[in-house]
Amino acid sequence: MSQKPLGLICAIPNEIQHFGSAFEKTSEKQIAGFSFFQGRLDGVETVLVEAGMGKVNAAVVTTLLIEQFNCRVVLFSGVAGGVDPNLGVGDVIIGTKLIQHDYGMIVSDKLRTYQPGHLPIHLPTEKLGYDADVILIDKLLQELEGFDLPMISAEAAGGESRKPVITSGTILTGDQFIGCTVARDRLCNELGGLAVEMEGAAIAQVAEHYKVPFIIIRSLSDLAGEESTMDFIKFLEETAGGAALVLRRIIRLL
C-alpha cells in the first residue's frame, strides 16, 4: 500500500515558487476555489496548495488536505515578522507552540488572549496555544544541526552579511499584519513569541482536531515594526527561500 502524502501549504506565490523544479506535479484538483497540486517534492508524495493569507483560508485548506487527500502531516513554509529582539531578517523558526494571539476578550480596551473557543468567563489560562510534536521537532532539529542556509545579504541583515540562525520556539498567529513596535514588543513579552504570522495556529488548531502532526516553518521577512511593510516587500524574495530549504532538508524524516 502506498504511503499517505504530505500536505504542504504556502500563503502566497512568493513562498510557493521556492519549491519550483523540486516539485514534480502529477495532477491538479480544484476545490472551493483552491488549486491542490498532487505530485512529489524531492521524491516524496506531496499535495501542495497556495491558501492565500489569513486564518480562515489556512483552516479551510488544512481541512481539505486531511479530508480529501488523506495527508499524514500538514506543513507550512513561508515568511513571518520577527518579534524576538534576538532574531533578525532571514533567520528561520520551526514552531514548537502556535498561539492565536488575536482570539480573546477585550478588557480595559486591551486584548487578553484566550484559547480559541474558550468562553469569555473563567480565565482560560491553563492552556494557551497548540503544541507541535516535540519528539518529531527534536528529530528535525538534530537533522538541521550544521545545515547552512545561504548568507543573508548585508542590506537584509541591517549591517554585515551573516549566516541565518535556524531555531525553534513559539510562533504567534493573528489576522493582522503587524507593523508597530509597541504591538510587537507586547506580543513578545506577554506571549513569549519569536515570530508573528497569519496562518500557523489555525493550521495547528485543525490538525489537532484530526490528530495529525503539523510543522510550521517560517523565515523572517521583517521585524514587525514600523518599517515592516517596506522590509516585507524588499526582503520577501530573499527570505522566503530559507523556510523552503529547511523544509526540503527535513522532508525525508516525515
Positions touching ligand ADE (CB under 6 A) are 79-81, 177-178, 196-198, 221-222, 224, 228, 232
Gap between the Cα atoms of 66 and 204, Å rounded:
12
**Amino acid residing at 229:** T
49 and 75 in contact (C-beta within 8 Å)?
Answer: no
Q: What is the closest distance, in whole angstroms, from the C-beta atom of residue 123 to ligand ADE in the complex?
A: 27
Residue with smaller CB distance to ligand ADE, 178 or 245? 178
**What residues act catalytically?**
15, 222
Instruction: Assign residue 58 a region (left: φ > 0; alpha: ψ between -120 and 50; beta: otherwise).
Output: alpha
Q: What is the closest distance, in whole angstroms, from the C-beta atom of residue 224 to ligand ADE in the complex?
A: 4
Gap between the Cα atoms of 136 and 253, Å rounded:
9
> What's the distance, CA 110 to chain centroid?
26
Q: What is the closest distance, in whole angstroms, from the C-beta atom of residue 82 to ligand ADE in the complex?
A: 8
Residue with smaller CB distance to ligand ADE, 7 or 200? 200
Q: What is the closest distance, in whole angstroms, from the C-beta atom of residue 83 to ligand ADE in the complex?
A: 9
114 and 124 in contact (C-beta within 8 Å)?
Answer: yes
Gap between the Cα atoms of 164 and 86, Å rounded:
12
**Amino acid residing at 6:** L
* Rg of the Cα atoms in the chain: 17
Residue with smaller CB distance to ligand ADE, 116 or 200? 200
Q: What is the closest distance, in whole angstroms, from the C-beta atom of residue 166 to ligand ADE in the complex?
A: 18
Residue with smaller CB distance to ligand ADE, 39 or 54? 54
Contacts of 243 (CB under 8 A, 6+ apart): 15, 18, 77, 78, 79, 92, 217, 218, 219
Residue with smaller CB distance to ligand ADE, 51 or 212? 51
> What's the distance, CA 67 to chain centroid?
21
